[in-house]
């Protein structure tokens, strides 16, 4: 497993907590870390960082007006979440999964979610159905408002919500990892227009889970994943390089 250099002490030392009502001061280390983390995560999920793009510490630090130590911590965090690829002595890169990698991930999701649908079929309470529909409404709103990263995140969370309703923490953990990977695939390779179909497909899954046919519910859930897989694989191909200074210029404080 690739090793990641630790941040230097001066970038990780704790800052005094500001007293309530005190005059605001420059960003604390935590503020900076979260600002950088949110900026890079948003760039990933918005599709602005293309597959294979190297994320150089110096370029990011200059673009966002922070230390290289802060950048290093955030890149390590995103690497642990499998959102970035960390290579020893080379740095961090946006994942550039092969077609086979993506097919294997979607194959695993189909197997797991088939069991999830079977477990939940005919057993959702009124409260759970209402919760799922409210979530789908939030997805629809994000797509209509052009909030691509929020829309992709909410689309993935729909499946995590189903896993939560199944009542298995181990299942939630495993699906979280699979969804995180496919969420990134969508951001990298799927079009906004095609991805906007997700809320409608999720609504169909909710209806199918309420009955009367388990076979029909399984068919709808699997078709949903099949279409996602086909779209991201079709969208994979040659990508343009990204200028990090331009991309993150607005994050500087």
How many separate helices (H) and strands (E) can be counted in the chain?
Answer: 12, 3
* pTM of structure: 0.71
Question: Residue with structure tokens 């642990």?
Answer: 80
Note whether 162 and 128 are within 8 A (CB): no
Note whether 115 and 14 are within 8 A (CB): no
pLDDT digits (tens, 9 = 90+) for 150-202: 888 898 899 999 999 998 888 888 998 899 888 888 888 877 666 667 899 99
Residue 110, SS3?
helix
φ, ψ of residue 150 to 5 degrees: the values are -65, -40
pLDDT of the residue at 245: 66
Rounded Cα distance, 187 and 48, in Å: 8
How confident is the prediction for the chain on average, in pLDDT? 83
């Amino acid at each position: 497993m690739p090793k990641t250099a630790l941040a230097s002490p001066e970038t990780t030392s704790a800052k005094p907590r500001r007293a309530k009502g005190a005059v605001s001061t420059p960003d604390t280390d935590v503020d900076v870390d979260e600002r950088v983390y949110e900026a890079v995560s948003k760039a990933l999920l918005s599709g602005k960082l293309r597959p294979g793009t190297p994320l150089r510490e110096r370029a990011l630090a200059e673009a966002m007006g922070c230390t290289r130590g802060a950048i290093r911590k955030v890149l390590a965090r995103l690497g642990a979440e499998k959102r970035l690829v960390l290579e020893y002595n080379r740095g961090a890169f946006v994942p550039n999964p092969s077609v086979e990698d993506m097919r294997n991930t979607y194959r695993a999701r189909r197997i797991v979610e088939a069991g999830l649908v079977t477990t939940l079929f005919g057993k959702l309470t009124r409260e759970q159905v209402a919760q799922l529909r409210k979530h789908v409404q939030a997805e629809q709103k994000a797509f209509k408002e052009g909030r691509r990263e929020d829309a992709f995140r909410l689309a993935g969370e729909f499946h995590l919500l189903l896993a939560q309703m199944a009542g298995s923490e181990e299942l939630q953990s495993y699906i979280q990892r699979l969804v995180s990977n496919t969420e990134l695939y969508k951001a990298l390779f799927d079009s906004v227009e095609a991805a906007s179909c997700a809320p409608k497909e999720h609504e169909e899954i909710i209806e199918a889970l309420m009955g009367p046919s388990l076979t029909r519910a399984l068919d709808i859930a699997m078709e949903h994943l099949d279409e996602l897989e086909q779209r991201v694989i079709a969208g994979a191909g040659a990508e343009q390089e990204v200028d990090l200074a331009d991309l993150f210029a607005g994050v500087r404080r």
